[in-house]
Structure 1
Amino acid sequence: MKQNKILIPIFLMVVIPTLITTFLSFFRFSTTLDRKLSDVFFHLLPTHHFFSKDIVIIDIDEQSIAKYADHPELGQWPWKRHIYPTLIGYTKLLTPPKITIIDIMFTERSDYDDAIVSANESLGGISHAANFRNGGIVIPRKGMQSISEKFSVKLETSIPFPNYENVAFPIGQIGETAPMIHVVNVIADGDGILRRFSPFVRWNGLYFPTLAMQAFALGERYDTLTQESDFYLIKDDLRRHVPVGKDGLVRAYFYTEEELRNIPRYSAAGIIDSLEKLNTGEVEDPNSLLVPPQLFEDKIVLIGTSAASTHDDVVTPHGLFPGVIAQAVFASNLREGHLLKELPESYGIIFTILVLLIGVLVLFINQWHLLKNLYPIVAISLFVGSFYFLYRMDLVLSTYSFVLGFPISYLLGFAYLTYTEGREKRKFNHILRNLVDPEVVSVALENMESLKQGGEWEITAFFSDVAGFSSISEELSATDLAKLLNEYLSAMTKVLKTNAGTLDKYIGDAIVGIFSAPIQNKEHPKLACKTALEMVTELEHLRVEWNRRGDYTPLARAMVFRIGLNCGQAKVGFMGTDSLASYTMMGDTVNLAARLEAAAKDYGVSILVSESIQSSCKEEFHFRFLDWIRVKGKEAPVKIYSLESFQKDVSSQMLKAEKEYESGFSLYLKRNWEGAIEHFKNVSKILEKEDVSSHLLIKRCQMLFQNPPPVDWDGVYTRTSK
Structure 2
Amino acid sequence: MKQRKLLFPFFLMVLVPGLLLGLLSIFGFSQTLNRKLSDSFFHLLPSHHTFSKDIVIIDIDEQSIAKYADHPELGQWPWKRNIYPTLISYTKLITTPKITIIDILFTERSDYDEALVAANINLGEISHAANFRDGGIVIERKDEEDLSQKFNVPLPADIPFPRYENASFPIGEVGKTAPMIHVVNVIPDNDGILRRFAPFIRWKNKHFPTLAVQAFVLGGEYQTEWKDSRFWIQNNEVKREVPLGKDGLVRAYFYTEKELRNIPRYSAAGIIESLNQLNSSEVEDPEKLLVPPSIFENKIVLIGTSAAATHDDVVTPHGLFPGVIGQAVFASNLIEGHLLRELPEIYGIGFTLVILVIGVLVLFINQWHLLKNLYPILAISLFVGLFYSLYRMDVVLASSSFVVAFPISYLLGFAYLTYTEGKEKRKFNSILRNLVDPGVVSEALEDMESLKKGGEWEITAFFSDVAGFSSISEELSASDLARLLNEYLSAMTKILKSNSGTLDKYIGDAIVGIFGAPIQNHEHPRLACKTALEMLAELEVLRAQWIEKKDYTETARNMAFRIGLNCGPAKVGFMGTDSLASYTMMGDTVNLAARLEAAAKDYGVSILVSESIESVCKKEFHFRFLDWIRVKGKEAPVKIYSLVCLVSELSVQVIDAERMYEEGFQFYLNRNWEKAIDSFEKVSEIYGYEDVTSKLLIDRCKSLFKNPPTSGWDGVFTRTSK
* Identity over aligned pairs, percent: 73
Whether 2:211 is the aligned partner of 1:211: answer yes
Distance 1:156 1:218 in 2: 23
Whether 2:391 is the aligned partner of 1:391: answer yes
The one-character-per-residue Cα deviations of 1:18-69 (angstroms, maximum 9, x if unpaired) are 1110121111111111111111111111111111100010000000000000
Distance 1:66 1:15 in 2: 62
Whether 2:271 is the aligned partner of 1:271: answer yes
> What's the CA shift for 1:2?
1.7
Counterpart contact for 1:131–1:183, Cα < 8 Å: yes
Letter in 1 for 2:115: A
Distance 2:425 2:270 in 1: 78
Q: Which residue is 1:190 aligned to?
A: 190
The number of aligned residues is 438
> What's the CA shift for 1:367?
2.1
Q: Which residue is 2:5 aligned to?
A: 5
Residue 143 of structure 1: SS of its match in structure 2?
helix
> For residues 450-489 of structure 1, what are the structure 2 equivalents within 5 Å?
none
Distance 2:149 2:424 in 1: 80
> For residues 84-103 of structure 1, what are the structure 2 equivalents within 5 Å?
84-103=84-103
> What's the CA shift for 1:312?
0.5
Distance 1:395 1:41 in 2: 13
Letter in 2 for 1:421: E
> What's the CA shift for 1:395?
0.8
> What's the CA shift for 1:112?
0.6
Distance 1:236 1:104 in 2: 27
Q: Which residue is 2:631 aligned to?
A: none
Distance 1:394 1:81 in 2: 41
Distance 1:252 1:172 in 2: 34
Counterpart contact for 2:363–2:372, Cα < 8 Å: yes
> For residues 327-406 of structure 1, what are the structure 2 equivalents within 5 Å?
327-406=327-406
Q: Which residue is 2:63 aligned to?
A: 63
Counterpart contact for 2:341–2:396, Cα < 8 Å: yes
Structure 1's 79 and 424: CA in aligned 2 closer, same or farther, altered over 3 A? closer
Q: Which residue is 2:126 aligned to?
A: 126
Q: Which residue is 1:226 aligned to?
A: 226
Q: Which residue is 1:176 aligned to?
A: 176
Distance 1:120 1:296 in 2: 19
> For residues 568-607 of structure 1, what are the structure 2 equivalents within 5 Å?
none
Structure 1's 91 and 6: CA in aligned 2 closer, same or farther, altered over 3 A? same
The one-character-per-residue Cα deviations of 1:209-239 (angstroms, maximum 9, x if unpaired) are 0001100110111111111111111223422
Q: Which residue is 2:503 aligned to?
A: none
> What's the CA shift for 1:373?
1.2
Distance 2:388 2:194 in 1: 22
> What's the CA shift for 1:288?
0.9
Distance 1:188 1:170 in 2: 24
Counterpart contact for 2:418–2:424, Cα < 8 Å: no
Distance 1:157 1:397 in 2: 29
Distance 2:113 2:345 in 1: 50
Whether 2:308 is the aligned partner of 1:303: answer no
> What's the CA shift for 1:420?
2.3
Counterpart contact for 1:55–1:302, Cα < 8 Å: yes
The one-character-per-residue Cα deviations of 1:614-654 (angstroms, maximum 9, x if unpaired) are xxxxxxxxxxxxxxxxxxxxxxxxxxxxxxxxxxxxxxxxx
Q: Which residue is 2:156 aligned to?
A: 156
Counterpart contact for 1:58–1:268, Cα < 8 Å: yes
Letter in 2 for 1:348: G
Structure 1's 6 and 111: CA in aligned 2 closer, same or farther, altered over 3 A? same
Distance 1:273 1:288 in 2: 12
Counterpart contact for 2:157–2:205, Cα < 8 Å: no
The one-character-per-residue Cα deviations of 1:144-198 (angstroms, maximum 9, x if unpaired) are 2221111110112522101111111100000000000000011111111111100
TM-score scaled by length of structure 2:
0.59
Distance 2:169 2:57 in 1: 23
4+ residue segments displaced more than 6 Å: 423-426
Counterpart contact for 1:142–1:172, Cα < 8 Å: no
Counterpart contact for 2:18–2:405, Cα < 8 Å: yes
The one-character-per-residue Cα deviations of 1:314-367 (angstroms, maximum 9, x if unpaired) are 111111111000000111111111111111111110010011112112222222
Gaps of 5+ in 2: 430-437, 439-489, 496-522, 531-722
Residue 409 of structure 2: SS of its match in structure 1?
helix
Q: Which residue is 1:286 aligned to?
A: 286
Counterpart contact for 1:234–1:240, Cα < 8 Å: yes
Whether 2:137 is the aligned partner of 1:137: answer yes
Distance 1:194 1:285 in 2: 42
Distance 1:57 1:163 in 2: 29
> What's the CA shift for 1:421?
2.4
Whether 2:239 is the aligned partner of 1:247: answer no
> What's the CA shift for 1:142?
3.4
Letter in 2 for 1:344: P
Distance 2:96 2:246 in 1: 39
The one-character-per-residue Cα deviations of 1:571-603 (angstroms, maximum 9, x if unpaired) are xxxxxxxxxxxxxxxxxxxxxxxxxxxxxxxxx
Distance 2:392 2:494 in 1: 48
The one-character-per-residue Cα deviations of 1:432-488 (angstroms, maximum 9, x if unpaired) are xxxxxx9xxxxxxxxxxxxxxxxxxxxxxxxxxxxxxxxxxxxxxxxxxxxxxxxxx
Letter in 2 for 1:321: F
Q: Which residue is 1:643 aligned to?
A: none
> What's the CA shift for 1:425?
10
Distance 2:423 2:273 in 1: 83
Distance 1:142 1:80 in 2: 26
Structure 1's 421 and 152: CA in aligned 2 closer, same or farther, altered over 3 A? same
TM-score scaled by length of structure 1:
0.59
The one-character-per-residue Cα deviations of 1:677-702 (angstroms, maximum 9, x if unpaired) are xxxxxxxxxxxxxxxxxxxxxxxxxx
Q: Which residue is 2:116 aligned to?
A: 116
Q: Give RMSD over aligned pairs.
A: 2.3
> For residues 499-648 of structure 1, what are the structure 2 equivalents within 5 Å?
none
> What's the CA shift for 1:402?
0.8
Counterpart contact for 1:157–1:226, Cα < 8 Å: no
Counterpart contact for 1:89–1:123, Cα < 8 Å: yes
Distance 1:424 1:121 in 2: 83
Gaps of 5+ in 1: 430-437, 439-493, 500-541, 550-722
Structure 1's 262 and 243: CA in aligned 2 closer, same or farther, altered over 3 A? same
Structure 1's 158 and 2: CA in aligned 2 closer, same or farther, altered over 3 A? same
Counterpart contact for 1:159–1:246, Cα < 8 Å: no
